[in-house]
Amino acid sequence: MKVIVCGAGQVGFNIARYLAMEDNDVTVVDQVPDLVRRIGDSLDVKGVVGHASHPDSLLRAEAGDSDIIIAVTQADEVNMMACQVAHSLFEVPTKIARVRHQSYLQPMWSHLFSRDNMPIDVIISPEIEVARAMTRRLQVPGAFEMIPLVEDRVKLVGVRCNENCPLINTPLRHLTQLFPDLNIVVVGLTRQNRTIVPTADEQMLLGDEVYFVVDSEQLPRAMAAFGHEEPEARRVLIMGGGNIGLFLAKQLESDYPWCKVKLIEASPARAELVATELNKTIVIHGDVLDPDILEEANVGITDTAIAVTNDDETNILSSLLAKRHGCQRAVTLINKGTYEFLITTLGIDVVVSPRNITVSTILQHVRRGRIHSVHTLREGFGELIEAEALETSSLVGAPLREVNLPAGVLIGAIVRDGQVISPRGSTVIQAKDRVVLFASTEAVRKVEKLFSVRLEYF
């Protein structure tokens, strides 16, 4: 597949990296020569120095032969125009654009991104995606990750093994013996910044971060099995009133009306604007690093503090201050990947990466075959994939113990006619089953082939 990525920043770099690792023909366009040089030196991709929306730049990127254009530059207008030019002049079949400014995304302008007006197939709004991801974290107290799958019948949950976890030093193969009626499969571990695709003999150790797939109806039992029975948040403090903070507050007002929400914003003009947009949220003008402002927000009796300012360092420090003042849980927005592994050791409970969320959202529109959703689990670890099994797939028709799964692939759940099936060696996948699996980065391309339609199928 031939892909053009417009923008060589963090998101563009990671999209190009994932697609290049899977042997796609990737070209990256950016007007900053140093960024193009860096991406060309680091990855097996072509680089074009030029303005992403200029026809001559797309011509040098061979847009006429491309299957997809992904526009993720810093400017919404450049992203939209790049897709328009790619459609009008080069007839690129699939066009994906990152659009940040919320005015473009208002429901009243929904006809803007249509084939007759601006022919963009997929619009990605990082702020909205991040706010939704943070809301999901609030649904499962004690989890640092939660992803709903297969119409929310299955969930991927990430938890830490602390002193209260009764499963420490227990081989994974014993989970089915200890909990025979619990549909749960551990698909990944992180230990001292090292990622592990577990075998049946692997044990969970104190401090491990565990990713498991579970039947949504059994989630409370699964969390209790890992020693996590924290109460649902009733008091939430949002630190930062930008687009993410505002959208998050609106979601909490709409979906969690029992929550008491407060928001701190440093800019007086922005604080006033946010206050007019919200109905029940208390908006406080002040510095999130000011102890007096935190006291005014009653951070000491707050269940969850969510730091979403535009500065990583401010988010980290404000989260630590909130915890020091007595806040039970801190959720922190981090853009720089170098901080991710560091800050969990400082006592911050949940890290949310806009880059990973944006990349995951884009990749699920790029994957081929009957793949319904894709979610990146930590940088360089692997992906959680939800796909439909086809009649021609080698997965179908044989017990799983006889299926030659690629190395680095673990099946987490099978959903058939609305029923969740926990995979065992004797389980037989049928055509049209929805399969949830984890694939290490090296195995993703092989998983694509498992769920692709072969020519003989027709």
438 shares a domain with 380: yes
What is the arithmetic mean of pLDDT over 121-130?
87
**Does any domain span residue 230?**
no
Q: Where is the domain boundary, 196, 225, 254?
A: 225
116: confidence class by pLDDT, cuts 50, 70, 90: confident
394 shares a domain with 380: yes
| Pairwise CA distance, residues 70 & 2, whole Å | 11
Closest CA to 241 of 324, 317, 349, 314: 314
Angle at which helix 243-255 crosses helix 126-139, to 10 degrees, equals 40
Residue 420's CATH number: 3.30.70.1450
pLDDT in tens, 71-90: 999 999 999 999 999 999 99
Domain of 439?
A: 364-457
Check pLDDT > 90 for residue 34. Answer: yes
**How many domains is the chain partitioned into structurally?**
4
373 shares a domain with 444: yes
Question: Which residue type, as a one-letter code, is found at position 417?
Answer: D
**Does any domain span residue 392?**
yes
58 shares a domain with 107: yes
- Per-residue pLDDT at 154: 94
Check pLDDT > 80 for residue 287. Answer: yes
Q: b or e along 98-114 (b: 16 or more beta carbons within 10 Å of the residue's beta carbon)?
A: bbbeeebbeeeeeeebe
pTM over 0.85: no
pLDDT higher at 9 or 458:
9
91 in the Ramachandran plot: left (φ > 0), alpha (ψ -120 to 50) or beta? left
281 shares a domain with 369: no
